[in-house]
Amino acid sequence: MLDYLFLQLIHALAVQKDRKGVPNMGILQYAPQALKNLFLPPVTTSYPFEPATYPEGSRGHVDIDIDNCISCGMCTRACPSNALSVDKMKGTWTINRFDCVACGFCVEKCPKKCLSMVIGYETPNNTKSEAVYQKSPEVLEREAKQRAEIAAKAAAAAKAKAEAAAKAKANANSQSETEPKA
């Protein structure tokens, strides 16, 4: 019954005339496929009620293992669309997913291999918000300690250098004072 009605509809559409009064038969080209589709399952899915399936080769989206990031900024320099930013002091890594073109350059460049392309897409949103990833307090504390140690070592080295220079100058002065004058 359904296919009969469908054929009737196709026929009615097929005998329509265009503006110049010529019968429009082009619709008949699609009739076999349209008829076939009546007996095939739908090609669409009920996402989000059913999990989405992604085609092979789909790049997905960039993800980060933030606690392994060393905030070197290599990814930001590699990004062709300026979608990334890094704040070393705050321990954040930020991505604007509306600007990201999923090229994967950042993933290739990351020296710590903490970036990856993950199959699937982010949850749709109606605002252009950025995704901000924050290092854990333990990692921030460890990094602050490392920075303090490096600064202390640099200060000690600078002090030792200044003392050595002052000592050398004092030696040179005392030598010139003890040398007999000609």
Distances (CA, A) of 66 to 71, 74, 75, 121, 133: 9, 14, 13, 19, 7
- Cβ of residue 93: shortest distance to ligand SF4, in angstroms? 6
Which of 10, 102, 139, 140 is in the footprint of ligand SF4 by CB under 6 A?
102
Cα distance between residue 35 and residue 28, in whole Å: 11
- Cβ of residue 153: shortest distance to ligand SF4, in angstroms? 23
| 131 sits near ligand SF4 (criterion: CB under 6 A) | no
What is the Rg, in whole angstroms, of the alpha carbon atoms belonging to the chain? 35
| 31 sits near ligand SF4 (criterion: CB under 6 A) | no
Which of 35, 89, 101, 118 is in the footprint of ligand SF4 by CB under 6 A?
101
Per CB under 6 A, contacts with ligand SF4 among 61-90 are 62, 64, 69-75, 78-81, 83-84, 86
Residue 18: both structure tokens together:
């265009």
Residue 84, strand partner residues: 95
Helix (H, G, I), strand (E, B) or coil at 134: strand
- Cβ of residue 141: shortest distance to ligand SF4, in angstroms? 18
Nearer to ligand SF4, 31 or 60 (CB): 60
122: closest CA among 141, 138, 145, 100? 100
- Cβ of residue 130: shortest distance to ligand SF4, in angstroms? 11
- Cβ of residue 144: shortest distance to ligand SF4, in angstroms? 17
Q: Which residues contact 90 (CB under 8 A, 6 or more apart)?
A: 134
| 34 sits near ligand SF4 (criterion: CB under 6 A) | no
- Cβ of residue 91: shortest distance to ligand SF4, in angstroms? 10
> Could you write out the DSSP letters of every residue in 142-161?
HHHHHHHHHHHHHHHHHHHH
Task: List interacting residues with ligand SF4 (CB under 6 A).
Answer: 62, 64, 69-75, 78-81, 83-84, 86, 93, 95, 100-106, 109-110, 112, 114-115
